[in-house]
Structure 1
Amino acid sequence: MISRDTIMVYVVSAIVFLSIVVYLYYRNIYSFWRKMGVFNIEPEFFFGNAKDRVLFRKSFHEFHRDIYFKFKGHRYAGFYVGRRASLVILDPEIIKCIMIKDFNHFTDRQTMRLRTSKYITEMLINLKGSKWKKMRSQLTPSFTSGKLRTMEHLIDICCNNMSDFLNDNIKSGNCKVFFLHFINNFITFTMFILFSENGFKPYELEMKDFFGKFTLDVIATCAFGVESNSLTDVTGGFASRVSKFATLSITKRLSLYIIILFLPGLARFVPLSFFNMKVIYFLANVIKEAKSYRMSTGQKRNDFLQLLLDSESNPDNKNENKQNEDSLTEPQIVAQSVLFLIAGFETSSTLLTFTCYELAINQEIQIKLREEICSILDRYNGKCTYEAMQEMTFLDMVLGETLRMHPPVAQLERVCTQDYMIPDSNLILQKGTAVQIPVIGLHYDPEYYPDPYKFDPNRFSAEEKASRHHYVYLPFGTGPRNCIGLRFALMSTKRGMVHLLKNFSIELSNRTTVPYIYSKHSMFLKAQNGIWLSFNKLNTS
């Protein structure tokens, strides 16, 4: 019979042996970039270079901004997320090659092959190669200039609902605003003290929640023909549920990180997702109900959902030769619809939120923008026409600067699909290697944007843009895999801002945090305590 001491010796020996094997394994992995002759920061065991992010010490945006400046001075640098090696690209010329010139070598995004619903795996952002190309070509007709112009009146209905909501909640009375400036520890602060002739205060709102509801109404109306007024729904309803699409429990979040960092080979066997699947299935049911209603009533609309339905395959057709090779299945239709809802909701609401945040801080810019809007609307009899919007160049500049300082995504990823030699170097990337483009770092690089923490819309004048490298501004990506809904997002955002600024002033409130603190638990751009601002009616008499 084996003694207890002997068993302990075997156990300890096995642990030591396994520890040595694991150590040597990681040591070999972490020598990858050094062997390739690529500059890199010494990785930490298990975490690679991502420890601060994995342990939630930094937000996603702060982490990638700091990584950029650690690598500044190099055209590219090696990086490790757990045991996965990727190449961080800092040189705008190389970025141009990857995203445009040599796109055929980088057609795919980095994705995790988790065992999850087809509503996730069939989303455009998760498709690769020919499947992505085919789906992209089918969706693109939804976002032409002609299609977008047919949606203008629908967006204006949502904008009017937003204005009515604010009018109903702001007490009457002319607000007087006094500005007090003081300096403390070399930092200039602006305090807004508001008085009303009738003693009423402006209406205070959390911006991401407010604009999330507005944006969702726009998408529901324009893309799916579903009339919605989430702002008047006291329960939060539809918008409240959709806003939780990325909310995961701590257990699921940790499980995802463990799989990504240490066990990526097991991803395909693990029933996990980066999305809150309750929200995904809820949205899937909404889409199916809208589809069923149109099928039963014969109703057709000139919108995103109809484009997908017109491409749907007929499951009752037994003759496969008669099936259109471009036809879509129901899971594909639902997947693109859910993606459009989620991506549009997140991107547009974030842009509106931080535009108002910057305008509340920079009142002189808000006044200048309002003067442009009102002046142009006067020439068009107060109507927010397509032509009027095209003339609002300062509005474009303000939105451009907001997207520079507050990009919805911190970095872009692509995967090398063919062996590729980095231009003007001897470095050959092997097929399957991931590359990262640190958008937030480029946007805050003083080499391209002097005094980068200052909100300055003049950076986006025609002259300034022409003098700057095109590939140091990437809020929506660029090239064939850029954000497909970019034009729709900007159109709805611009019309929303016009309706707000012509009727209301945007001001800081007692709950506004300046500067705001990034949320460390979100991959998207979010403020830890929200963005609280106040709206007040303008005296138009």
Structure 2
Amino acid sequence: MAILYLAGAVLCVVLYFAFLKRFTYWESRGVLQYGYLVNLRELLLGLISYRGITEIIQTIYDAFPESRFCGVYQFSRPTLVIRDPELIKKVTVEDFEYFTDHINIALAQDSEPIWQKNLIALKGEKWKDMRATLTPSFTSSKMKTMFDLISNYAKAFVGYFEEHPDEVHSMQMKDVFGRFTNDIIATCAFGINCDSMRNPQNEFYLMGKDITSFTGFWANLRKVFTLLFPRLAKRLQITFFSKRATHFFATLIRENIASREQNGIIRPDMIHLLLEARKGKAREDSRFTVTEGVADRQEEKRKKEQLTDLDITAQALIFFLAGFDTVSSLMCFMAHELAVNADIQERLQLEVDDIMRQCEGNITYEALSKMEYMDMVVSETMRKWPSPVFSNRACTKSYTIEPEKEGEKAVKLNVNDPILIPIFAIHRDENNYENPTRFDPERFNRENKASVLPYQFIPFGVGPRSCIGNRFALMETKLAFFYLLSKFNLVVTEKTDVPLQLGKHAFHLNAKNGFWLGLKARTP
């Protein structure tokens, strides 16, 4: 009997060290941590869509109001959540060399090469080279070259509603704006002309919806399974992204590249830039600069491997993945806020009408850039409803967070330790914004804008790894609303949720019951 007790005791010790001890990782380092069992419960509730990812991160953030950071566990993986804006600046900008990469998405080797070669997933020197290659596509000068193209699409988009007045009384705006962003990306990144309002079943739009679907229990379960068990997922041929949609886009781009090279077609879009980079013609000089806040980072031009068709496909596809849902969601939230805040909508329309008169109906890039109230409304939408709920980094060199507050200890981070930046929670923190749930564009007027600290407002991420397409997203959004508000008022309908309830079936911000709004033609 004594032997059995001894064996049981030994087994308990073994289990403790083999399993439970890993969940004292942060506690043993003097970091306040979210209780593991509570942490696991939240993750499981999120998996079955009982909790939304936004709600889970907000709960963790609120649990440590006086701390600059706290520890959590992504199942068994320790993750440091950074709450303090100054520490965010230090980690993502000032000490960027220690946190150059995003957290690795553990897909099995070669199982989804299109994902593994895109800008977001690339690491170290490969990321720097690709970022330098793509950066010229998103400068102000390049935005100007695409301005008329996007403006014409926005005009045609609004023109559809003028042609079909019977359809605008109550619309699911997620579908409406999704079609618009689909067409913009199709032409600017893929060189394809689409009209998804007039041709709603076009293949490009349907495949785009397929590959960007991050909602629903089974879709989430499939994605989580590929992340937790990448090798098994590869054997079972379970992929993170839809095989059918991935094959469609890969074939589309491969044929597009072949056609351009065979026929000498030149079109000012992303594929053209990448083809020029493959020929060694993309860089205008030997250095590039990434600027964010107080940090300027210059990287020497390095000898690089030649871009393959797969590299080009990966970048075009990530542009679609990053821009399709995030930008359409931004437009949906902005439309909702304008519909329920009629005074704000009216003031914005006054600015739209004024610019329309000045430009005699043909807005220019410069005129759009000078629309102050438009910028205030868009900025406040991104504050209250940031499309990326969080951002992340992986520690790439051993790093120590030095103590600054009473009771803190030095925290050493090892290579591959993950860091999570809770963007939504930071934007909703009363210490950062007064009455944060209220929609108030005046937070971003000339006088108040200076009081918003840079690292309290991070809708596009932060540091050199922030969103490369932020100018594109803003221009696309502003043009859509410029033309829409010049012709229509956004109004609530019987299906409109007021207040808006967030959905729990996605990895990103979404409305539980959809974004139902109506359009009412403005009287001349």
Sort the Cα spacing of 1:202 and 1:255 in 2 relative to 1 into closer, same or farther, 3 A: closer
Comparing 65-74 with 270-279, greater Cα deviation is found at 270-279
Sort the Cα spacing of 1:67 and 1:312 in 2 relative to 1 into closer, same or farther, 3 A: same
Equivalence for 1:107:
100
1:257 matched to 2:257? The reply is no
1:443-485 deviation line (CA, Å, top 9, x unaligned): 0011111111110000111322211221011111021100011
CA distance in 2, matches of 1:427, 1:503: 56
CA distance in 1, matches of 2:521, 2:374: 20
Q: How many residues align?
A: 491
> How do 1:106-145 and structure 2 match up within 5 A?
106-115=99-108, 116-145=111-140
- RMSD value, Cα: 2.7
Cα contact 1:308–1:333 (8 A) shared by 2:
yes
Sort the Cα spacing of 1:30 and 1:367 in 2 relative to 1 into closer, same or farther, 3 A: same
CA distance in 1, matches of 2:518, 2:361: 25
Cα contact 1:311–1:326 (8 A) shared by 2:
no
Equivalence for 2:207:
241
Equivalence for 1:301:
267
Q: Secondary structure at the match of 1:80?
A: strand
CA distance in 2, matches of 1:467, 1:456: 15
Equivalence for 1:511:
495
1:475 matched to 2:442? The reply is no
> How do 1:344-355 and structure 2 match up within 5 A?
344-355=323-334
1:388 matched to 2:354? The reply is no
Cα contact 1:376–1:388 (8 A) shared by 2:
yes
Sort the Cα spacing of 1:472 and 1:355 in 2 relative to 1 into closer, same or farther, 3 A: same
Cα contact 1:419–1:431 (8 A) shared by 2:
yes
The aligned amino acid for 1:79 is V
Q: Displacement, 1:67?
A: 1.6
Comparing 58-67 with 410-419, greater Cα deviation is found at 58-67
Sort the Cα spacing of 1:24 and 1:363 in 2 relative to 1 into closer, same or farther, 3 A: same
> How do 1:101-250 and structure 2 match up within 5 A?
101-115=94-108, 116-171=111-166, 202-235=168-201, 237-247=203-213, 250=217
Q: Displacement, 1:257?
A: 3.2
1:335-391 deviation line (CA, Å, top 9, x unaligned): 001111221112211111111010001011000000011112212222211121122
Equivalence for 2:322:
343
Sort the Cα spacing of 1:83 and 1:163 in 2 relative to 1 into closer, same or farther, 3 A: same
Sort the Cα spacing of 1:143 and 1:338 in 2 relative to 1 into closer, same or farther, 3 A: same
Q: Secondary structure at the match of 2:201?
A: coil
CA distance in 1, matches of 2:45, 2:500: 20
Equivalence for 1:420:
399
Q: Displacement, 1:223?
A: 2.5
CA distance in 2, matches of 1:398, 1:365: 8
Sort the Cα spacing of 1:505 and 1:19 in 2 relative to 1 into closer, same or farther, 3 A: farther
Equivalence for 1:370:
349
CA distance in 1, matches of 2:331, 2:518: 14
1:143-185 deviation line (CA, Å, top 9, x unaligned): 11111101111112211211121011115xxxxxxxxxxxxxx
The correspondence for 2:82, drawn from 86, 89, 109, is 89
Q: Displacement, 1:260?
A: 4.6
Equivalence for 2:29:
36
CA distance in 2, matches of 1:337, 1:269: 28
Unaligned runs of 5+ in 2: 281-302, 405-409
Cα contact 2:47–2:217 (8 A) shared by 1:
no
The correspondence for 1:457, drawn from 441, 452, 462, is 441
Q: Displacement, 1:24?
A: 4.3
Identity of aligned residues (%): 35
Return the TM-score normalized by structure 2.
0.88
Q: Secondary structure at the match of 2:181?
A: helix
The aligned amino acid for 2:522 is L
Sort the Cα spacing of 1:254 and 1:226 in 2 relative to 1 into closer, same or farther, 3 A: closer
The aligned amino acid for 1:122 is K
Q: Displacement, 1:325?
A: 3.1
Unaligned runs of 5+ in 1: 1-9, 172-200, 315-323
1:305-359 deviation line (CA, Å, top 9, x unaligned): 1011223379xxxxxxxxx735201110100011112211122111111110100
CA distance in 1, matches of 2:11, 2:243: 37
CA distance in 1, matches of 2:96, 2:397: 10
CA distance in 2, matches of 1:301, 1:18: 67
1:409 matched to 2:388? The reply is yes
CA distance in 2, matches of 1:33, 1:48: 18
CA distance in 1, matches of 2:8, 2:248: 47
Sort the Cα spacing of 1:252 and 1:423 in 2 relative to 1 into closer, same or farther, 3 A: same
Cα contact 2:107–2:230 (8 A) shared by 1:
no
Equivalence for 2:57:
64
Q: Secondary structure at the match of 1:344?
A: helix
Comparing 385-394 with 362-371, greater Cα deviation is found at 385-394
1:531 matched to 2:515? The reply is yes
> How do 1:410-449 and structure 2 match up within 5 A?
410-425=389-404, 426-449=410-433
The aligned amino acid for 1:408 is S
Cα contact 1:89–1:438 (8 A) shared by 2:
yes
The aligned amino acid for 2:50 is R
Equivalence for 2:292:
none
CA distance in 2, matches of 1:497, 1:45: 43
Bigger-Rg structure (1/2): 1
Equivalence for 2:299:
none
Cα contact 1:404–1:473 (8 A) shared by 2:
yes
Q: Secondary structure at the match of 1:50?
A: helix
The aligned amino acid for 1:105 is Y
Equivalence for 1:7:
none
CA distance in 2, matches of 1:77, 1:493: 35
The correspondence for 1:485, drawn from 469, 487, 512, is 469
Q: Secondary structure at the match of 1:459?
A: helix
Q: Secondary structure at the match of 1:166?
A: helix
Q: Secondary structure at the match of 1:227?
A: coil
Q: Displacement, 1:218?
A: 1.1
Cα contact 1:42–1:49 (8 A) shared by 2:
no
1:49-90 deviation line (CA, Å, top 9, x unaligned): 634323422111222122211122101111111110011101
Comparing 231-240 with 464-473, greater Cα deviation is found at 231-240
CA distance in 1, matches of 2:218, 2:428: 34
Sort the Cα spacing of 1:86 and 1:48 in 2 relative to 1 into closer, same or farther, 3 A: farther
CA distance in 2, matches of 1:114, 1:534: 42
CA distance in 2, matches of 1:18, 1:209: 56
CA distance in 2, matches of 1:121, 1:454: 40
CA distance in 1, matches of 2:456, 2:176: 31
Equivalence for 2:407:
none
Q: Secondary structure at the match of 1:244?
A: helix
